[in-house]
């Protein structure tokens, strides 16, 4: 079960946020301290599986040969055969649009080099280089996990936001997701929670509620 104070803070953030005509995301905002982010080694680049999912659709694409295409049918949101990779390189505007519509990519391992050479300049800066899938493997489990995954990328900024749910989720579920993010991040910081100056929870357009760090 999630910490009671954390659940209370989430409830307060949800109650204080005015109702919108769309489903708002719930975000965790974290402010770091005493971390030199000008040094790339100190930057956070993490993918964290939320125990209760993101509460919204997460789209996953896969670069796959015919055998894996069959396994990915009805599971992946976009399936890209090897023969399309080179064409995507030449159709940059269309490829950028396609990439913007997909949250995560997978790729059959032998295709990784071709993808890097042809599409690395498009996928890399957007943090969407695919994760390799062994030839012959079933990608279903990886796709299911990615649908519950969030990215943390600080780059050179000490303040960053992480989606941890949507406002139609139970406060307890959102609180558990927040704990999962904290548990991962503190293991990646030299001084753990001591490197976190403050943290807040809020809906995408609502007021922020400060969290008590433990």
pLDDT given for residue 28 in this prediction: 97
Res. 182 pLDDT band, cuts 50 70 90? very high
Residues of the chain with CATH 3.30.190.20: 4-55+148-210
Mean pLDDT of the chain: 94
Exposed/middle/buried for residue 43 (C-beta within 10 Å: 0-12, 13-18, 19+): middle
- Is domain 4-55+148-210 annotated with CATH 3.30.190.20? yes
Residues of the chain with CATH 3.40.50.790: 60-146
Residue 2 has pLDDT above 90, yes or no: no
Res. 153 pLDDT band, cuts 50 70 90? confident
Reported pTM? 0.87
Give the Cα separation of 6 and 49 in Å (integer). 19
Q: Which CATH class is domain 60-146?
A: alpha beta
Parallel/antiparallel/unpaired status of strands 104-108 and 60-63: parallel
Res. 51 pLDDT band, cuts 50 70 90? very high
């Amino acid at each position: 079960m999630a910490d009671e104070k954390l659940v209370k803070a989430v409830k307060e953030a949800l109650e204080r946020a005015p109702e919108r005509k769309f489903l708002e995301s719930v975000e965790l905002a974290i402010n770091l301290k005493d971390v030199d982010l000008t040094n790339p080694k100190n930057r956070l680049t993490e993918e964290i599986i939320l125990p209760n999912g993101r509460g919204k659709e997460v789209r996953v694409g896969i670069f796959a040969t015919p055998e894996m295409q069959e396994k990915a049918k009805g599971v992946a949101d976009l399936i890209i055969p090897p023969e399309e990779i080179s064409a995507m390189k030449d159709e940059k505007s269309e490829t950028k649009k396609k990439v913007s519509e997909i949250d995560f990519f997978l790729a059959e391992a032998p295709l990784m080099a071709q993808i890097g050479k042809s599409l690395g300049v498009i996928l890399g800066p957007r943090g969407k280089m695919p994760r390799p899938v062994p030839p012959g493997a079933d990608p279903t489990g990886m796709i299911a996990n990615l649908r519950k995954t969030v990215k943390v990328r600080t780059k050179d900024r000490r303040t960053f936001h992480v989606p941890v749910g949507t406002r139609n989720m139970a406060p307890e579920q959102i609180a558990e997701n927040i704990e999962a993010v904290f548990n991962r991040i503190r293991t990646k910081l030299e001084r753990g929670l001591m490197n976190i100056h403050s943290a807040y929870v809020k809906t995408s357009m609502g007021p922020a509620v400060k969290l008590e760090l433990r």
